[in-house]
Amino acid sequence: MVFSLESFLDHLNKEKNYSSHTIIAYQNDIKSFINFNRNYLKDKSESEIEYTDIRSWIGVLSDQNLDHKTINRKISALKSYFKFLIKIGVRQDDPMKIHHTLKTAKRAMTPLSIQEMSLLLDGLDFPKTFQGMRDKLILELLYQTGMRRAELIQLQINDIDLNLKTVKVLGKRNKERLIPLTKSICDALDMYLRARRTCFTAETNQLFLNNKGNILYPQFVYNLVRKYLTQVTTKKQIGPHILRHTFATHMLEGGANLNATKELLGHSSLAATQVYTHSNIAALKKVYQNTHPRKNRKSN
């Protein structure tokens, strides 16, 4: 299976234009089944795998106390893999065609309030060091642009245009988009770049570096965001994505056009953006009551 897996990952990279982050996720999820096959199924060939084998794997994943969302993600990766095997002629049939997605409980993420964001960015005392400057800038960029964690990590210095006040972001499937920047964040970026040149002499175009001058990794950014958010909120679901969620919610509540917000977020469809219109029903009701022309009409 390893040979076909390498071909599949190459297919995702060259034909699907998936990001390296997505490809690694696919690789890890499919390797989970490969390890199961090796340990429990006596290393069946790819053409011999049956749906009963996959059901047994799902059972093992459930026994590991993985939630249904995680298991569904792994199954989705395996589905794509078997479709690829059919495409290249390794298999004639799809053993997963009768599989039904596991039900998941919908957990609505609650955005941070404007007051919480003000406390985070204006109320906390960040250290007057390179680390403190970098940490605050990361939080500002995630909230002011709505970019994803992976997008922030791979930012290059030349993606920033301080004159035009824009940042070029490489999103999913290598789709580029330009996001406008405020003057304040451009000033912060300028100060950060000066400090970065002073602290690190190594020639790298990567925008954000850790304390040792190395490229950031996903867990680093996750831990950084949690470190500061725990100081301003008691919400449980806190991480880089809540800042993206908060950006979208605050933009829409402030009157931003849904299509414009979609472009800023880098969504491929409006359906993905519309979820943020449901995040604060109280605010929507208030807008409705204040603007609908028949709001004061009494029924007969």
Candidates 74, 91, 136, 148; catalytic one: 148
Tell me which H or E stretch contains 161. strand 160-161
Pair 78, 34: CB distance under 8 Å: no
Active site residue 276: yes
DSSP 176: E
Q: Give 183-247 as a 3 state SS string.
A: HHHHHHHHHHHHHHHHHCCCCCCECCECCCCCECCHHHHHHHHHHHHCCCCCCCCCCHHHHHHHH
CA distance 2 to 248: 41
Q: Encoding tokens for residue 169?
A: 């972001």
Active site residue 100: no
Active site residue 99: no
Active site residue 175: no
Pair 102, 68: CB distance under 8 Å: yes
Candidates 11, 31, 73, 172; catalytic one: 172
Order of strands, sheet of 166-170, starting from the edge strand that comes earlier in the sequence: 160-161, 166-170, 176-180
* Integer CA distances (angstroms), 269 to 171, 254, 263, 273, in order: 14, 21, 9, 7
Q: Encoding tokens for residue 283?
A: 């605010």
Distance separating the N- and C-terminal Cα atoms of the chain: 72
Active site residue 148: yes
Residue 166 CB burial class (10 angstroms; 0-12, 13-18, ≥19): middle
Candidates 244, 245, 250, 262; catalytic one: 244
Candidates 74, 136, 262, 267; catalytic one: 267
Candidates 81, 143, 192, 276; catalytic one: 276
Active site residue 241: yes
Tell me which H or E stretch contains 178. strand 176-180
Q: Which residues are catalytic?
A: 148, 172, 241, 244, 267, 276
